[in-house]
Structure 1
Amino acid sequence: MDEPAVIWDRPEPTRRPAPSPLSRESIVQAAIRLADAEGLEAVSVRKVAAELDAGPMRLYGYLSTKDDLLDLMVDAAYGEIPLPEATGQDWRTTLRELGHGIRQVALRHEWFADLLGRRPHLGPQALAYLEASLAALDRADEFATIDEVSRAIRTLHAYLIGALRTEVAERRAERSTGLDKDSWRRKAAPYLTRALSSGNYPTVANFVHNATRQTPDTAFDTGLNHLLAGITPPKPN
């Protein structure tokens, strides 16, 4: 008989006592600690087993592949996102809360941003997050059909994935180079001054000299607000 495709369809083995009692929860938390400290590349069944003082073969009773482990880690991360109660709250408020919630998780667990948008997230916590997102629009008068809801959610998720991956990449670059954005701008200033003085990039020059600098918090919130303001389907003629 073929093994079920998703980890949540497979029963967890009966927990055994010492020397090293295991559970999917303890395995996932150990993997998350490794990923938080060293990145996704540090996560392997062997390393997680060592973290738990257990043999790697014991872990294969709880999961079959590293992809299973990543799926469980992603779902645990979704479980950290506070879900709004299903009340009469405005749909934009609900989606704004969910957007900020997923951002906070991605900043706590940068590897989470790497896994967003790869393959469908089907765990119970991910489905609860998706249900809250879809339901907020499905209840709204502006969205007449489930297709309109689907298109809006896809657009929102595309923004979230792009914004979070960009922010995480910038944080990693700052750590690896030791330069924050202002320090990097000062270092690049001589080259940029020469390039902009050529007159070939007038709009870039206007942007560099006159655009308001935003904090990461403000940039994310501004982008999210712009998207939510324009996400409703066009009215038929």
Structure 2
Amino acid sequence: MDPERLWSPAERPRRGRRPAHSRAAITAEAVALADAEGLTAVTMRAVAARIGAGTMSLYSYVPNKETLLELMIDHVSGDHRLPPEPSGDWRAGLRQIAHDQRAIMRRHPWLPAALPARQTLGPNALAVVEYTLAVLAPVGLDAQARLETFSLLTGFVASYVSYELAQEQATEAAGRTSGELLDAQARYLRSVAVEGRYPHLAQALAMPSHAQEPQAAFGRLLDRMINGLTAVT
């Protein structure tokens, strides 16, 4: 994969008839398919069928599925709504970036699993990286540490959303509400904790529980992550 060719400002001009499709339209259809049916449903044949093209003709726009995945990831990265400039409140800026990432990943549930396979950064992703580095500028970290902080923050969000989605699927499969499953789990843990073999667990369970509302839970853990990631050593 040649990043310079992949992310060129415009598609290469073609001789003869005007192309029937565009790389952007093909990417949008692939994203819609992944949103509806999952990443495994995204094949060159399936995407070609959605745009009404022959499978082989699709390769003249996108050379392979790996390249299509790169295009898809950058396409949804464009869902970020970045302010023109950071506000100067770097903690609030990081929180907003992470909340945006979570919303995008939940809107596109295939994205957390796709990110580890990404090989390059497209223009939309680069805009998010550049903005985040600017947000982190007042922290006192060097440029490399700020870049690592962004990567670790994104990894945390992807891991959290993957867990959220898996729990929701498990709840749906069990035919019970999330509250019912949490209550059942709490009863079980309390029963084993009183046996005396898990004193630290018993201590944790004896404390008042935090709010379980998903947004609040995410925000609480996010603040803890930010505190650790931005500590200057």
Q: Cα 1:177–1:7, aligned 2, differ >3 Å: closer, same or farther?
A: farther
1:109 aligns with 2:108: yes
Pairing partner for 1:201 from 198, 221, 224: 198
User: Which residue of structure 2 lines up, in the alignment, with residue 64 of structure 1?
Assistant: 63
Letter matched to residue 71 of structure 1:
E
1:55 aligns with 2:54: yes
TM (normalized to structure 1)?
0.83
Greater Cα offset, 118-127 or 33-42: 118-127
Alignment of 1:75-90 (within 5 A): 75-90=74-89
Pairing partner for 1:143 from 117, 140, 147: 140
**1:13 Cα deviation after fit:** 5.7
Letter matched to residue 161 of structure 1:
A
Q: Residue 179 of structure 1 aligns to a residue in which SS? A: coil
Higher relative contact order (CA 8 A, sep 6+): 2
Q: Is the 8 A contact 2:86 2:131 kept in 1?
A: no
Q: Cα 1:106–1:88, aligned 2, differ >3 Å: closer, same or farther?
A: closer
User: Which residue of structure 1 lines up, in the alignment, with residue 212 of structure 2?
Assistant: 214
Pairing partner for 1:169 from 161, 166, 169: 166
Q: Cα 1:176–1:38, aligned 2, differ >3 Å: closer, same or farther?
A: farther
1:18-53 per-residue CA deviation (whole Å, 9 max, x = no partner) reads 9xx311121111111111111111110100111112
Please list every run of 5 or more consecutive structure 1 residues that lacks an aligned counterpart in the other structure: none
Q: Cα 1:136–1:189, aligned 2, differ >3 Å: closer, same or farther?
A: closer
Alignment of 1:172-187 (within 5 A): 172-186=169-183
Letter matched to residue 130 of structure 1:
V
Q: How many residues align?
A: 229
Q: Is the 8 A contact 2:70 2:118 kept in 1?
A: no
Equivalent-residue separation in structure 2 for 1:131 and 1:72 (angstroms): 19
**1:105 Cα deviation after fit:** 0.5
Q: Is the 8 A contact 2:86 2:134 kept in 1?
A: no
Equivalent-residue separation in structure 2 for 1:30 and 1:233 (angstroms): 42
Letter matched to residue 63 of structure 1:
V
Letter matched to residue 222 of structure 2:
L
TM (normalized to structure 2)?
0.84
Q: Is the 8 A contact 1:16 1:22 kept in 2?
A: no
1:138-177 per-residue CA deviation (whole Å, 9 max, x = no partner) reads 3x1x315223323433332332232222222223323333
Q: Is the 8 A contact 1:95 1:136 kept in 2?
A: yes
Letter matched to residue 162 of structure 2:
R
Q: Cα 1:12–1:27, aligned 2, differ >3 Å: closer, same or farther?
A: farther
User: Which residue of structure 2 lines up, in the alignment, with residue 11 of structure 1?
Assistant: 11
Alignment of 1:114-133 (within 5 A): 114-133=113-132
Equivalent-residue separation in structure 2 for 1:220 and 1:12 (angstroms): 44
Q: Cα 1:16–1:180, aligned 2, differ >3 Å: closer, same or farther?
A: farther
